[in-house]
Every structure is written in structure tokens, then in C-alpha cells.
Amino acid sequence: MKFHVVSRVLAAVAAISLAACGGGGGSNVTPPYGPPVTPTLTSNFVGVGDSLTAGYQSEGWLGAPPGSVANPLAAGTPFAALGVPPGQESGFWAQMWMQMNGASAASYAALANPATSVLPLIAGPGLSDQIVPANPALTGGVPFGQLPTRSSCDSFNQAAYTLSGVQTVRENPSAGIRDFGVPGMTLHEVATMTQPISPSCVPIPGANAVVQGLQALLSESGSFYPVLAGFNGGTQLSAAISVKPTLATVLIGANDILHFEFSGGTFLGVDGINGNTAQVQKDMTTIITGLQGAGAKVIVGNLPNILVEPFFMSVAPLPNQAACSTVGALQTYFACVLTIAGVPYATADGLRAQLATAYGLNAGASGSNPAINGGYGYITLGGTITVLKALGAGQTPNLDPNGPGSGNGSEYTTPALAAATQALNDTINSGIAAAASATQVPMVDLRTFSNDIATGCASGCASDPLALLALGGINPPVCCSETFGGGLVSFDGLHPSNTGYALMAEAFIQAANAAYKAGIPDLNVKAQHDGTGTIPFHDPYAQ
């Protein structure tokens, strides 16, 4: 994911060298947010947000310790003993907490232990399937697979929809949690949602494909009680306020964009209806001022450009296969990803051209905007998997499973939908920035980091040392980039790897230190990648 501190704190962090990411203090610049706070600032740290705060990773949500959930697909690889990798302890909020609480193996152990964790640890096998590292010999050449491969309505997933069922879903159902992030939650829901939207994951009887698809998007329904069951029917915001926080991170709004995109532009949450920043600013201000009223110093983050994430694979043409390695660090290209799976480049590029024409993804199509992917559309990760399955079965790929246009948003993204998605992305970011400015809280600029990575720091990134670190200071030349398999994002193409979350955590730490003199030790991102930091295993999603 992406990060870099906005102009109000850039002066404080620009002087921090890349070496500072490995340890050391913060800035001595006096922030414009009032006098320094007391040393107890980090004593009651909370996180408000969605799956990014919760530590969701690679299409699943799991906090069970390493090795506790088997991964037979990893036989013969260094990750066989790891099993299905837990994600919650590797989320950005969790990594910040560890830095505040010793920055050691003991701090990780405290988060992973149900008796001491401040996370709503999800027991094995986890909610939803998780895409995991795998031995290509066992998966037909693909270095990942999906486990445990079960119904989304199995007994474990279904238990998450009831207050009584949470006792089996959570490892620590009575723990005093401080990470209140609810995967799938939208911006408006943080202050308004008091129970699951859907009573169960069973499809609504008689509902058409569109309604069933929208119901499937409401993943906050299955995640709500596992986080908030112990807070007497309140909202995520009221739960966070109730523990009287001293410091809080707020990162929310991505699901407003993703719900819109995945529904083909059908779903508009409250913060997308008006098409302007006013409602976004209002909702974000409600969250910020609510936390401030409870005594918290607040840091907010804006959102990356979602379409830069490797879930979206460009169908723009390339001159040859060699270009995959020269431009691959900047964007994920559909034809290049097919070659990773063993498809000859000529075949992959021909298929790209056919699919782009068949589904209206070429530049010049209705709604094309040259500023977005050169006017071309995208094939999503889901669509790419559909294509690979069809090729393996000797069939013609069908990206519209329920009739013409039905795959737009889930299997592919037309230029028109891409333009509308980007517009909503920009609207929400504008509202977040307006709220941060009005409430005088620092903002971590994930969007700028995203753009710096997407351009390979073409502008030099003089004021973005974390982008420079990501591109060349972790494991060059293979890590890190925003591409699929580039080390910053897990296998679902949307949620960060351990390394990506570590960069996010360091960005928020720098913001807290610059704005509030928090004194949080800087995080060694490379050590988190290598498995020599607080996380006791090599990042399974990074080379």
C-alpha cells in the first residue's frame, strides 16, 4: 500500500534518512497542532478503519499463530512449517503497537497470545479462504493456491453472523481489544452501523444476480460481530471512544470505492451518492472529533489510487515480452501475468487483444480517459484466474458469466467504469483531506506514495524517502513494487504483504512523531521483510 506524510509534516520527516528507518528517534520540529503531549500518549492506542487496520491479508482474515493452520500446498518450500500465514499480527496497526511496546520478539508474542492480545484474533481456519504460498509442482506452475477451499457459508463463517457464534470464531472472545478495524466497512458505517446488514451469508431467496452480488460485497456483515460483539450494540466509533484512547489511527473509505467498482458502478454508499466531498468530510469529521472528544490525538490516512493495485491488470499493448521486465515495476500487465503462469507471450498478447475488443476495453471506447491507464481498461485478478482456468480446460474464456456486461467490475473493468471509479477515489480523498485540515490532524498521504511507486519515482521522490526505500532498499532488484508478485501486496492483489504493512506503519509512526512528539521508535522495514524484526518469519508474499 502507500504512504508519505502530507505537506504539514513533510518538513519534519524529509530530514530522516533512509537509515533512520532502521531505528532511532523522531523529529525535533515543533508541530503546528499544539504543545507536546505527555509521555502517556501511546498508553492507550486504538485503530479505527476497515480491513487495512484489521490486518486482512491475501483474501482471508486469520490471527491463529504460525503453523497452527496447515498448508499442504507449501510442501517442499521454506513456508511449509509456517502453514497458512496469519495476517492480523502483521497489519500496520499491529506493527505500530509492537513498536510502542518493546519492538521485540516479545511484543509479537504478546499480540499472538490470546491471553494478552489487543487484537480480535480470528481462530483457524480463519474467515474466508486465504490465498497462500505454494509449491508450483503441486499447483501446476502457479506459486500460490487457495486454502482451506470451503464454502463461504460453512459453519465457521456462518458462526460469525451471530453473537453466540463469535465464541468459536475468536481465539480471545473476552479480550480487551484495541484494534477496532472491521473488514468491509465503509466510511459512513463506522459511526452508524450497529449490527450486521445481512443476518446470514445465505443468498436472499428469489434475489436476482445483481442483488446477490451486492449482498456478497457486504463483507462487513460477517466481520462485524467478531470485532464488536462485546461493545453492547454500539458502532465501531462508539466502541473505540468507550476505551478512552490516547492515540488513534483512522484509515477508512476504500470499501466505498471497491463496492462501487466490484458492482460495476451499481453500489453507491452514502459517501458516494452526492458526488462531492461534503458528505465524506462530514463523516470523517464525525470520526475524528469523536475520538478527540474522548482524549485521543488522531492521525488519518488517505487512500491510494485503487486502480494502481495489482488486482487490476492493464490490457494496454506492449512492444514485446522484454517490456514486461522493463515496465513491470510500474504497472501490472495482463499479458505479462499470463506468461508467469507459463502461457507463451505471443499467445498471451493475442488473447489480450481479443478480450480487449470483445469486452470494450480498448482506448477510445466509451468513457475512455487517456489519463487513466492510457484510456485502456483492465482485466481483474478474478478475470485472469477465469482465463487461466479456461485455457487449462481448452475452452474460450467467458468474462460475462451472467449475460453481457455482467462481468464488468468483477472480471474486467471498462474504461468508463475505470474513470468513474477514479473519480470516486478522488472525491473521497478530497473529503478526507478537508476533514483533516478542518480538525488540524496530520494526514498520511498514501495516494502520493502510490503514485511515486507507480512511476518508479520518476520525479525523484526527494520528499518521499519511504518510496525510495520500497523501490531499492529492501531486496533489490526484485522487491519491491506494486505489481502482482512485486512484494508490497499479498496474493489477493489488494491487501498489503507484511512488508507493505511495515511501510504503512513507519509512515504513520513518522506522522505521530512529527505532529505529536510521540517518541515511537522507527520501524526497520527491511528486517520485517527478512523475518529478523518483530515478525518472526520471512514475508511470505515478498521475494
State the DSSP code for 489.
B
pLDDT at position 29 is 27
pLDDT at position 2 is 39
Does residue 479 share a domain with residue 406?
A: no
- Last residue of one domain, picked from the residues 370, 393, 416: 416
pLDDT at position 203 is 64
Task: Provide the β-strand partners of residue 48.
Answer: 250
Does residue 533 share a domain with residue 467?
A: yes
Q: Using alpha carbons only, what angle is made at residue 183 by residues 285 and 452, rounded to the nearest 5 degrees?
A: 70
Q: How many structural domains are present in the chain?
A: 2
- Is 122 within the bounds of a domain? no
- Is 170 within the bounds of a domain? no
- Is 16 within the bounds of a domain? yes
Does residue 333 share a domain with residue 392?
A: yes
Give residues with Cβ within 8 angstroms of 9, minimum separation 6: 31, 442, 510, 511, 514, 515
Where the chain has pLDDT below 70, the residues are 1-39, 198-219, 274, 327-330
Distance between CA 236 and CA 190 in Å, rounded?
Answer: 5
- Is 188 within the bounds of a domain? no
Does residue 397 share a domain with residue 482?
A: no
- Is 51 within the bounds of a domain? no
- Is 109 within the bounds of a domain? no
Neighbours of 194 (CB within 10 A): 14
State the DSSP code for 523.
P
The pairs formed by 13-18 with CB atoms below 8 angstroms and a separation of 24 or more are 13/465, 13/510, 13/511, 13/514, 14/462, 14/463, 14/465, 16/465, 16/510, 16/522, 17/465, 18/465, 18/468, 18/469, 18/473
Does residue 451 share a domain with residue 405?
A: no
- Is 334 within the bounds of a domain? yes
pLDDT at position 98 is 97
Distance between CA 2 and CA 466 in Å, rounded?
Answer: 9
pLDDT at position 79 is 87
Contact 83, 69 (CB under 8 A): yes
Distance between CA 504 and CA 4 in Å, rounded?
Answer: 8
Does residue 376 share a domain with residue 333?
A: yes
Distance between CA 515 and CA 9 in Å, rounded?
Answer: 7
Distance between CA 172 and CA 335 in Å, rounded?
Answer: 45
Distance between CA 470 and CA 487 in Å, rounded?
Answer: 9
pLDDT at position 418 is 97
Contact 506, 43 (CB under 8 A): no
Q: What is the pTM of this model?
A: 0.90
User: Which range marks the domain in which residue 353 is found?
Assistant: 319-416
- Is 412 within the bounds of a domain? yes
